[in-house]
Amino acid sequence: MKIVAAVLVLAFVTIPVTIAQQSSDQTVSIWGGVFTREQANRGRFAYEGACGFCHGSRLDGAADDPDQRSAPPLARAKFFREWEGRSLAVLFELTHSTMPEDNPGSLTDGEYADIIAYMLSVSGAPSGEAELLPNPQSLSRTVIRQQQ
């Protein structure tokens, strides 16, 4: 009787854990509402302060500052073609370690996540209930896709 009880307890303990692990392995696309509207708004201010003069206020790579050489677009079709299939963790890492080009790594992790949220929102991706967190696990689950 004790053994049966122990097996039952084990089953109840292990099944939910297994399910949780499976769902954390699944990926979502950037079209699944992976940032909040408020976060994208914060990202806009950070972007305008640190990125816009090179990547352009329309995020199309046409520099706002005429003395800057042009930079790659950070939104819409051309950006998506370049980044299709890669995770936000890759984008976050590259941005964090190399941008802003004149002062890499100078923003907080949260500001980089906010800016990525803003880039996605400019491309038309919908906002959702939860913020995009600047941690490798959740960023690596979110994949850039050109279409929904």
Interface residues with ligand HEC (CB under 6 A) are 50-51, 53-55, 68, 71-72, 74, 82, 91, 94-95, 99-102, 107, 115
Do 144 and 87 touch, CB atoms closer than 8 A? Answer: yes
Name which of 72, 91, 80 is nearest 148 in CA terms.
80
Distance CA(11)–CA(89), nearest Å, equals: 35
> Could you tell me which residues come within 8 angstroms of residue 32 by beta carbon, excluding any fewer than 6 positions away?
128, 142
Amino acid (1-letter code) at residue 142: T
Residue among 86, 80, 84, 87 at smallest CA distance from 137: 87
Work out how close the CB of 70 gets to ligand HEC at its nearest, in angstroms, rounded to a whole number: 8
Q: Which is nearer to ligand HEC, 61 or 128 (CB)?
A: 61
What is the smallest separation between the CB atom of 28 and ligand HEC, expressed in angstroms?
20
The distance of closest approach from Cβ of residue 79 to ligand HEC in the complex, given in angstroms and rounded to an integer, is 6
Q: CB-wise, 10 or 77, nearer to ligand HEC?
A: 77
Residue (25 or 67) nearer to ligand HEC, CB:
67
Alpha carbon distance 35, 126 (integer Å): 8
Nearer to ligand HEC, 7 or 82 (CB): 82
User: Least CB distance from residue 35 to ligand HEC, whole Å?
Assistant: 14
